[in-house]
Amino acid sequence: MATARPSHSLLGWLRGGLIVSCQAPSDSPVHGPRFMAAFARAAEVGGAVGVRVNGPADIRAVRRAVALPIIGIQKLKTEGYPVYITPTLASARRLVEAGADIIALDATHRPRSGGLTPEALIRAIQTELGCLVMADIDSLEEGLRAAEAGADIVATTMAGYTPARPMTDGPDLDLLAALAAQVKTPLICEGRVGSPADLAAAFEAGAFAVVVGTAITNPVALTQSFARAARQTEDGRLKIED
C-alpha cells in the first residue's frame, strides 16, 4: 500500500534520479493496470524516483501502489494527426483526475487534434489543471520553443521518432547537450537509454533526470535480445568438447 507522496518539490525529488517508464502495448502479456502497478512497485523498491505511466486506468492502479511521483501520458491515436501523446486538454484532465503529478505531452509543432498549439496546451494544463508539464520534443528548435513556452521540463522523448532528427543507436546525447547549453529548464533524457552506461552519459551531457523504459519494463524485448544472441551461436547451443 502506498504511503504519502513526497511533500517537497516534485522537481527537487526527481533531480539526479531514474524515472521508470511503466508501459506495455495492448498485445503484450504484461498489458494492464495490475502489471503496471507491479512494475511501478518494483521500480520504487529498486530506487527509482518516479514513473511514467500511460492512461487513467494504469495511473489509478499505480497511484494506489506507490508513493512515487507519476508522469502521466495518454496515447490517443487519431487518423490524420501524427501527435498522439496527450494531444488535448481533455486528455490531460483525465490524467490529473486519475492521480498524475506531471503531465507529459508531445510538444512538437505537428498537427494535433483538439485545436490547441503546444504553447496553448502547456499554459492551459498549468493554469487550469494546476499541474507541471513535461514537453516531449524531437529537435533543438522544438526544445527551445517548449522552454520559451514555459514548460516545466523538456524531454528528448521524440528525438529519432520524427523526421526532425535521425535515430541514434542510443540516447540522443548531442541533442541533450545542445539543449543544456542554451536553456535553464530541467532536461530529461528519454529514448533508447539501454544501459547504466547510457544513463551515466546522459547525466554527463546535462540531463536533470533520465527515463528508462524498454530496458527495464519490456520483458518481451529483453527476451528477444537474448534470443537473438543465442541464435548467433552455433545452432543456438553451447559447443561441448568431446
Q: Is the pTM for the entire model greater than 0.85?
A: yes
Mean pLDDT over residues 48-65, rounded? 98
pLDDT tens for 183-198 read: 999 999 999 999 999 9
> What is the Cα–Cα distance from 214 to 94, expressed in whole angstroms?
25
- pLDDT reading at 118 higher than 60: yes
CA torsion, points 112, 114, 115, 121, in degrees to nearest 10?
-90
What are the extents of the domains in the chain? Answer: 10-228
For 10-228, CATH number out of 3.30.360.10, 1.20.1250.20, 3.20.20.70, 3.40.50.970 equals 3.20.20.70
In DSSP notation, 53-86 reads EESHHHHHHHHHH--S-EEEE-B--BTTB---BS
- Flag whether pLDDT at 242 surpasses 50: no
Q: How sure is the predictor about 236, in pLDDT bands with cuts at 50, 70 and 90? A: low
Beta-carbon-side half-sphere exposure of residue 151 (alpha carbons within 13 Å): 29
